[in-house]
Amino acid sequence: MSSGDPAEGLLRELTPQVLGALVRRYGNFAACEDAVQEALIAAAAQWPRQGIPSRPAGWLLTVASRRLADQLRSDEARRRREENFARDGLDRPGAAQPGDSPAAAAGLPGGETGGDDTLTLLFLCCHPELTPASQIALTLRAVAGLSTAEIARAFLVPEATMAQRISRAKQRIAAAGARFDPPPPGELPRRLQVVLHVLYLMFNEGYAATSGPAAVRPELTGEAIRLARIVHRSLPAEGEAAGLLALMLLTEARRPARTRPDGALVPLAEQDRSAWDRALIKEGTALVTATLAAAPVGPYQLQAAIAAVHAEAAQASQTDWRQILALYNLLSTLSPSPVVSLNRAVAVAMVRGPAAGLAELAALDGNDQLAGQHRLAAVRAHLLELAGDASGAADQYRLAARRVVSAPERRHLLDRAARLSGPSPD
């Protein structure tokens, strides 16, 4: 996926368009999705050798339609054997029969319906009946055009596990009676929130800092950004869609500086800011600025605004912490959570001093959601370090390291504890 193969990029782009056209024509999302996957595999095998066809979308649609016809024929035979005439919930009455004349559909609808189909597919894959893990997996396959093997590799699970998860997700959507239609206007805000959350999780999943096995993970962050762009383009008036895209761009901008060559994490304050991607920062900052001025404010916009304030400081010491604290205050009001409170405590410490920040943390001690997690101890360690309490900070870093389940973070926390515990023997 990281390869710059032009055919691969084209396939990713065409996937939702071809799938949208196929579902529109024949109904039965689950079967159409399988057929498109097979067409993608055929294209990946043939195009590099024979060249990209002059009408690539039509080519894919024709191949997918044939596969669909084959599949439905064999399904039909099996059904007859079993005398089971149960109908798929996604079937549309009166849908065209696959194999009728796939070539007639070869001229795919142009850009505008293509974009709408992609959005409709996103809503379908991010169906509220599915768990977040299934929503992400199905979105990556049906909308982003990744193969099951690639998705399995991205989540470090066996391909069979991922295949099962995807097939079950499709069954659930069918059982829920979902249709290939945009959500009704009354449901749009709630459904859009789910789509944005799925893209946010997909981005985070890909925002991995590590060498080793994960270095071969597909670029989930890149896919999340690409899909967030599509959502923003389709729904330009939705402030949170713009906010999420801006947040992703501003976070992605820091990627080159956030790990050392050996894979160790670099905290924000110590990052080499000259390595940050200026173009992404410019785009993300402009987007969040314009959105905050035009749309009702929301949590993604506020997080993007905080990232933008960090981005505009040429050095960590020049960070405008007052503005960041004001944004966190707003975020705590709008969408309170223990994690927001933790981040806000850091901002309080930077504005009013570490003691004030530590006092904020004391209020979180009894919080069930944070109990047993590493975050509270890690932030407390950081603030104790700022306050000059080296041994207290080292203890808290070690406590955090025992609780964290991320290998790179554990390494980072143990490094900090070791640094504070005095010079190492060598």
Partner 1 sequence: MKYMLLIYQNPAAFQELPEAGRQALMDEAGAIVSELIETGEWVGGEGLADPATARTVRVREGVPAVTDGPYAEAKEQIVGYCVVDCETPERAVEIAARWPDARLWGMEVRPMLSPDGLEAPM
- Which residues are near partner 1 by CB under 8 A? 131-134, 155-158, 160-162, 164-166, 168, 204-205, 207-210, 212-214, 254, 258, 265-269, 346, 375, 378-379, 382, 405-410, 412
Residue 99, Ramachandran bin (φ over 0: left; ψ between -120 and 50: alpha; else beta): left
Supply 13's token pair. 């782009």
- Name the minimum Å distance from CB 413 to partner 1: 8
**In terms of CB distance, is 86 or 405 closer to partner 1?**
405
**In terms of CB distance, is 101 or 164 closer to partner 1?**
164
How many CA atoms lie less than 13 Å away from 166 in the CB half-sphere?
Answer: 29
**Alpha-carbon radius of gyration of the chain:** 25
Would you say 344 and 332 are in contact if contact means Cβ atoms under 8 Å apart? yes
**What is d(CA 297, CA 89) in angstroms, rounded to the nearest whole number?**
38
Question: Which of 397, 392, 388 shows the shortest CA–CA distance to 418?
Answer: 397
**In terms of CB distance, is 1 or 346 closer to partner 1?**
346
- Name the minimum Å distance from CB 243 to partner 1: 19
The count of other CB atoms within 10 Å of the CB of residue 138 is 28
- Name the minimum Å distance from CB 205 to partner 1: 8
- What DSSP assignment string belongs to 280-313? HHHHHHHHHHHHHHHS---HHHHHHHHHHHHHH-
**In terms of CB distance, is 122 or 345 closer to partner 1?**
345
- Name the minimum Å distance from CB 362 to partner 1: 18
**In terms of CB distance, is 177 or 372 closer to partner 1?**
372
**In terms of CB distance, is 92 or 410 closer to partner 1?**
410
Q: What angle do CA 105, 106, 112 make, to 5 degrees?
A: 85
- Name the minimum Å distance from CB 331 to partner 1: 16
- Name the minimum Å distance from CB 153 to partner 1: 12
**What is d(CA 345, CA 367) in angstroms, rounded to the nearest whole number?**
15
Beta-carbon contacts of 118 under 8 Å, excluding residues fewer than 6 positions away, are 16, 17, 20, 143, 230, 234
- Name the minimum Å distance from CB 118 to partner 1: 25
**In terms of CB distance, is 43 or 327 closer to partner 1?**
327
Beta-carbon contacts of 313 under 8 Å, excluding residues fewer than 6 positions away, are 273, 319, 320
